[in-house]
Structure formats: structure tokens, C-alpha cells
Structure 1
């Protein structure tokens, strides 16, 4: 075997190890999806008398308590990881996910359940911030894109797994309504995989360099890179670390951010994109899809099976989005997503209000929901996150994106809290409300959001300066 063959085999071995590390770390992303999606089927049982006897508003609190925790977890998780390390924070998150799932499963009343859901939310928010960062910091350049986007695919996979678990266990609920405890408790398994799996994978070499631990960083690079590239990559990391520290020394404060009109306008634009994404109604469907399908005329068991399609089609949409986002452009995808989502919501509302008893009505509404999910997950889902990462200049990017992500999670919280009340009140009107939000979103994007595809970030900054700095 010659030198080139040895190098190629070494490269393949390292890539295999890194993919293993990626799968372990993205258990955090899978749990993000599982813990947000599992209430979709479990609420039906925990709401029953003899269980937790929940009202529609209390169901909203149980569901949205997690997303409220996630809003704060997203803010806390990043700085904490910078302080204690990526590996340690992800290990801790594995423990929290496992313990939180058990706490929910054994909850004796709604207060205990909400408390553990909030704790799980802290882990979900922190995972949403830290999983992509860890992967980006250990992945080689040629694999970074695929490995980082694995996190997004695993989120929707987690929702699909949750819906599948609900569909499998729902028939057992006819004899034992406490089946919801198993639905929630099974989230312990990927939590344990994340917790124990983190002992098998290394700390981020970039974090080690940032802490001045050069020998340990060198040791990690020798495990995850071919020998020929280790020294040069370590020097590159050191150089980038020096540059980052110089930039971070000049990172803006919140006071400075709000003192500049053009930066405030960027903040408003990014925050509104998060609100638009959430009030287009996606998480009303992802959290309460089973309830929506039941309202369309199906029994609990059939609804759980059909609802599993929501999770599968979310994966399909997310994968399609990966391949179109750099082809069609951000604004086109936003317009297309908001338009198609709005049309499907209005059509479903009209059918539900005018022909609720027609034999074809129920399955037609389900098909419309499926179309909605595919287009949302391929457009509004990924585009919102991408535009937010592109519109802030370097000096304001950290604090700016932190605020916009917090606002997005608060929007998620509000939708999750109010959706069961709205659906119980009038499902058709609920569809119309979210469709109206899609229309308002189209107007906002047309007036406020620039196309960022292929545009240097410096030119994006100039757009906002020229438009608002007067």
C-alpha cells in the first residue's frame, strides 16, 4: 500500500469517526424534535379524567412550557458552553434530557409536569444553540455543510419518531389512559445515548485553543484528522482564535445596538421574520396535529397514524429545503412558502366550515395539512434562520441573533399556548387566523427583507444603512 492509499484510508476512518460523533451529538437535536412533538398524541390521554384532567388552556401550558424554557435555554446555553466547554455542556444536556423525561413520565399533577417540561425546554434551547456549533467546530471543511445540516434533519426526525411512538401506543390507551407516561418517558433513551455517548467523543479543538490548551487541542486533531493536515489546521485555528478575540473585544453592547437606527431596523426585521415563521401556524400543527385530524372526523387511533405523516413529510420538506435554498434565493422561498401555506390554510378552513360532514372532507383536510408541512419545512423553516444569520453585521451579530432567536421562541410559546383554545373554539377560524398572518408576512417581506443570496455581507449592511441611517 502506497502513501496516497494510506492517507485515503486514514481520511475515511476519521470521517467515519466524525459521523459517529455527529450522530451522538445530534441526539440533542432529535430530542429537540421528540420533546416538542410528543405532546401531539399524549395530551389526548393526560387530559382525561382520572389522569390530569386538563382543560384546553392547561393543555396549552403543558405544551408551551417547554418552548418558554427553550427561549431562555437558547440565551443561557451559548455563553455557558463558551465557559465550560462544548463537550461538558452537551453531557449535562444529556442528563437533563433523561431526568426531565422521567420527571414528566412520573408527574403526579400538572404543576410537576409543567416544571419538568420547562426544564426540558432549557435543554432544548441550549441544544439548539450548541449542537450545530460543536459539529461546525470538529467537522473538516469539505464535510461541514452536510454535518451541520444533519442537526436540522434530526429535529424533524425526532418529531417523526414522536409521532410514530404516539401512533404505536395510542391503541393501548383505550384500556390504559396512563399510556401518555410511556410516550413522554421514552425520551429518556436518546437522552442516555447523548449523555453516555459524549464520553466517547472529544472536546472541540477550537474551544481548547480558545482556553489556551494547545497540547490537548493537538491531541484531539490527531484523532479526527489525517496526520498530514494536523499541524497546519492547528495553526489556522490559532490564527482564527486571535482574530476572533480581537473582534469580540469590539462586540457591541445592547445599549449601543439600540442607539443606532439602522441596526434597530435590522433587529426589527430579524425578529419579525421569527414571528412570521411561528404565526404561519406550523407549531399549531406539529404540537396539535392529532387534535386537528380528530376535528376533521377521524377517531383517536386513525388520527395518530395519519399524524405520523406530518413527521415524515417534515423530513421530506427539510431535505428539499437544503437543496433549493441556494438555488432559488431567500425572498422567493419566503414568498412561495407564505403564499402556499396561506392558500392551504384557507382551503382547509373553507372545507371544514362549509362541508364538515362530506365523506371527502376529512381526508382532503389531511392532504392540505400535508402540503402545508412540506412547503413550510422547505421554505419558511430554514430561510428564517438563514436570513437572520446574514443580515446582522459582524459587530452586532452575536447580540442581534441572540435577541431574534429569543423572540422566535417566545412566538413559539404563544402559538403553543393558544392553539388548543383556538382549535376548541373554532378550527376553521384558527386556519383563517394563521392564513391572515401569512398574508401580513408577505407584505412585510416585500417591504422590509432584502435578497441575500450571493450578496456579500458587507453589501447587506449597506442596504440597511442606506435605507434607514438618515
Structure 2
């Protein structure tokens, strides 16, 4: 009897804490927490997107010559090492943020991949470069999962979509930065050190900021509640409330509403994501993640080649036009901030996939540079709306106790499909009328995205996480 009373009291306390979190207005303090998490993710995106930019430097140095493992050799092995590391990080180690906490793993994974990246910059053999690239990829994969779960759990329900859109906008700002740094440094040898090594080492600078970020971001109260640390969750929630009141000039906060609460006695396990209602969601995201990479990474990686094929210019010139298209990356999530919390998240995903297919088909029919750039920018904007919306969506579908584990497992399918997407796209490019064949493939992949999310995806917008998980 006393045990039942104690459990009910804990549930009431947890529900009150969650209600206090979700009633908070979107003040400067809330946006500061999102910004700091996003800055941590920006270093991760730098590390991820530099993959393609340092390959010419590695080739020039001869480090990738004669290096092969199985079907992968040279530059393909370097790229595959990155995404195989990401696969291990998400598939094998996605659970660590559920077990050890969002704050601790956010810190550790950043330090881990920064250290591995720094070690990679000193390697003198192609095998050493690829090995440490894979090790860095493991840390990046863990960080990707942790940031998604962290953002979802910290921000109030009414701004969750905008928070993810802003998070992606900040992270994608680094894409033109790493492109510019690589364009400047890779062809040179500053201070007698190969330019590609400088580009890689700069990526490790995130370690200098990690302790500042760690001090300024609290642990997720939701994670604390699932681990029975109600007093810590209450203390952190009170600190956030006090900061929000200061932002409001001492004005009273809105009254908390009744709030759902997860089962505090349950302990998350991998088997739980295969039980109703999560089984359908898990399979849906596996299918979605496998196919979405054909539109996202497929287009981004192949755009210089596609442009060169369409208008008959040399690859060097097409790289310049591809850079112009790449500048559009941060503007997709920025655009999404205007509607992120106004429309149902699953339909934003479906709409973005349809736009990728339509704009891709139009891109494949153009033969003039202005129209190629126009449709290339529209595809990029659509890809990044897709990216923001699925990062938000996947983190909303599971309870806190298995959120990182489920996100990591399903997200891993996009990492492994990316390894093979370039080979499949290359096959279609060579055997099915070039650009038309490529976008036929991407159109089919987007159809799979539309069907999986449109038919099986539950509603999540403006619903508290605990209600979605029920």
C-alpha cells in the first residue's frame, strides 16, 4: 500500500515538473540553450562535411593510393570509413545517452571525435587516415543522436519545431565555412604542413569550447525523472524558470496545465522499440532513413557532376556553381522557422520529399546555368527542410527512457545506405541517361519516404512528448 502511494506521489511530482517545463515562454534563456547545443553540433557538422573537401588534398599527397579494403579503395574507402564510423556510433552506441545522461554524453562524444580528428591530421599513411576517420565517425554518430534527444527534451512543446529548425540552421552555417577554408588551405602547405591537415586540425577546435558549453547547458530534467532523480529534475527546472523570469523582467509565468507522464518504474531496453506502439514507428523510420539519403546526400555529393553533364562545362567550373548552391544550406531551416510549429510535422516531411522529387525532375531537364542553379537551390532548400523536420520527428516518437537508443538504431540505416548510395547513383548515371536516370532514382526514393511517413507516421506537432509516447 505504501509503495503504491509513493509511486503515485512520484508520478504527480514528475507530471508537475514536466508541466512547468512545457508552459515556459520562448525567452532569451531558452534560445540560448538551443544555441549552445547548436554550436556544439556545428563543430560536428564541420567534421562531417569536411569529408568531401579534404579528399583532393589526400589524393594529392598520395595517401589514398593503393589503399583498399574489400570493394572500397582510395577516396571511396575514406568516405566509407566516415559513414561506417557513423553507423557504429548510432547503431551500437546510440544507447549511451539513455544510460549515462544527455549532458555527459554530449560532452564526452565531442571530446572523443575532436581528439580522434586531431590524431587523424598527423597520420602519414592512408590506412592510418581511414582508421582514425572511422574512429572520429563513431563519436560524431553518438553526438548526432544526443543533440536530437537533448533539444527535444529541453524546449517547451510550443516551440519544439522552431528549436529544431534553428538548430539545423546554425549547424548548416558551417557548410560554406568548411568549403571556403578547404578552398583556401587544401592547395597550399602553410608552415610546411599539408593544407588538408590544417582543415582537419581546425575541426578539433571544438574541444576548446566543450567545458564552456557543458557548464552552460543543464542536464535534461526528463532524463533525470526517468532515472528517479526527482529532486535534481526539480532543482534544474527551478533554475530554468528563474532565468526565464529574469528574461521577462520578473513577470509571472503562465500557469502549468495538466500533463502526461511516462511510467517512471520502466527501464528502457532495445526490445521495447519492437513492442506496440513503437514497432510500427521503428520500421517506418528504418524505411524512411534508408531512402531519404538518396535525395539528401545523393544530390549534394553529385551536384558538380550533374551540372557538368547538363551544360557541358568542365568539372572545375561546375564546382564553383555547386558552391553557390551549397550556400543555400542554412536558408532551408531558416525558412522552416516560419512554419515549423504551425503545421503537422509529418506533412512537412512529406511536402519536402515531394518538392525534392519535383524540383529534381525539373533540374534534370535544364540545359542553361541560371535554371540549373535555381532548381539546385530549390532542391537544397527542400532537402534541408526535410532534414530539420525528420531530426525533430524521429526524436518525438519514443519515450525518454529509449529515445536515444531508438533514434540511434533507426538513424543508422541512413548511415549505411549513404555508403552505397553513391555507387547506386553512379550506376544509374552511367546506364540510365545520366541526370534523368539519377533523378528517376531519387524520385522513387522520395516516393518511399512519402508512403512510409504519410501512411504510418503519427501526429506530433504541439503535443507533449509524453502524450506522443503513449
Task: State if a TM-score over 0.5 links the two structures.
Answer: yes
- Name the structure 2 match of 1:409: 415
Shift of 1:185: 1.6
- Name the structure 1 match of 2:82: 66
Shift of 1:214: 4.1
Deviation track 1:348-405 (CA, whole Å, cap 9, x = no partner) reads: 6xx5xxxxxxxx56x6645543332123223x43455566567889999887655432
Instruction: State whether structure 2 residue 138 is matched by structure 1 residue 131.
Output: no
Deviation track 1:443-468 (CA, whole Å, cap 9, x = no partner) reads: 546665536899589xxxxxxxxxxx
Distance 2:197 2:235 in 1: 44
Task: Give the SS at the match of 2:215.
Answer: coil
Distance 2:374 2:146 in 1: 35
- Name the structure 2 match of 1:341: 360
Distance 2:400 2:102 in 1: 22
Distance 2:38 2:109 in 1: 12
Which structure features the higher share of helix residues?
A: 1
Shift of 1:342: 3.2
Gaps of 5+ in 1: 1-10, 352-359, 458-470
Deviation track 1:242-296 (CA, whole Å, cap 9, x = no partner) reads: x3335x4597827965xx8x9876655432222221123x314434656666776
User: TM (normalized to structure 1)?
Assistant: 0.72
- Name the structure 1 match of 2:271: 253
Distance 2:307 2:268 in 1: 52
Tell me how many residue pairs correspond in the alignment: 422
CA distance change for structure 1 residues 156 and 430 in 2, over 3 Å: closer, same or farther?
A: farther
1:147 to 135, 140, 163: 163
Shift of 1:95: 1.0
- Contact in 2 for aligned 1:101/1:186 (Cα 8 Å): no
Shift of 1:60: 1.9
After TM superposition, the structure 1 = structure 2 runs for residues 71-86 of structure 1, keeping only pairs within 5 Å, are: 71-86=87-102
User: TM (normalized to structure 2)?
Assistant: 0.72
Distance 2:107 2:400 in 1: 30
- Name the structure 1 match of 2:439: 435
2:131 to 104, 110, 115: 115
2:59 to 47, 57, 60: 47
Task: Give the SS at the match of 1:450.
Answer: helix
- Contact in 1 for aligned 2:87/2:412 (Cα 8 Å): yes
- Contact in 2 for aligned 1:390/1:452 (Cα 8 Å): no
CA distance change for structure 1 residues 87 and 383 in 2, over 3 Å: closer, same or farther?
A: closer
CA distance change for structure 1 residues 400 and 130 in 2, over 3 Å: closer, same or farther?
A: closer
Distance 2:220 2:452 in 1: 38
1:193 to 205, 209, 221: 209
CA distance change for structure 1 residues 34 and 416 in 2, over 3 Å: closer, same or farther?
A: farther
CA distance change for structure 1 residues 48 and 74 in 2, over 3 Å: closer, same or farther?
A: same
- Contact in 2 for aligned 1:73/1:124 (Cα 8 Å): yes
CA distance change for structure 1 residues 212 and 263 in 2, over 3 Å: closer, same or farther?
A: closer
